[in-house]
Amino acid sequence: MINVTILKNSNLEPIGFEMSGHAEYAEPGADIVCSAVSAIAITTVNAIESLTEDDFSIESNQENGDMDLRINGTPSHDAVMIMKAYEIGMTGICESYDDYICLTFKEV
């Protein structure tokens, strides 16, 4: 199962995420759930890097499926919008494949 935690600040703005695990929906290379989650996460990181000036930290380990992103400091409007899009994408995947992905929220 993929565990996704969306991190929110005291204003309830999404400022990062923590992901771990594999969906095990199908064999590696054919797992559409892992592919969808990975694509949304990587696009989110690339969008924040390319479209904002926000400082952020990223850690990932492809073997065990870990990826953690955190925006440092106060996020820009654009970074919040990108993170909201991430949240919408992950919520959609979770609604369709809830046996393979667990989505939680945490105030940090």
Task: Identify the domain containing residue 74 by its residue range.
Answer: 2-107
pLDDT given for residue 93 in this prediction: 97
For residue 103, list its beta bridge partners: 4
- 59 sits in which H/E element: strand 56-61
Residues 6, 41: Cα–Cα separation, whole Å: 11
- The DSSP 8-state label assigned to residue 99 in this structure reads T
Neighbours of 67 (CB within 10 A): 21
Average of per-residue pLDDT across 26-50: 95
- Specify the number of domains making up the chain: 1
Average pLDDT estimate for 52-59: 98
pLDDT of residue 46: 98
Distance in angstroms (rounded) separating the CA atoms of residues 3 and 1: 6
DSSP state of 10: T
The pLDDT tens digits for 78-100 are 999 999 999 999 999 999 999 99
Mean pLDDT of 6-24: 96
Instruction: Please give the mean pLDDT across all residues of the chain.
Output: 96
pLDDT at 28 over 90: no
Which domain CATH number covers 49?
A: 3.30.70.1490
What are the beta bridge partners of residue 5?
Answer: 18, 104
Closest CA to 32 of 105, 104, 102, 101: 101
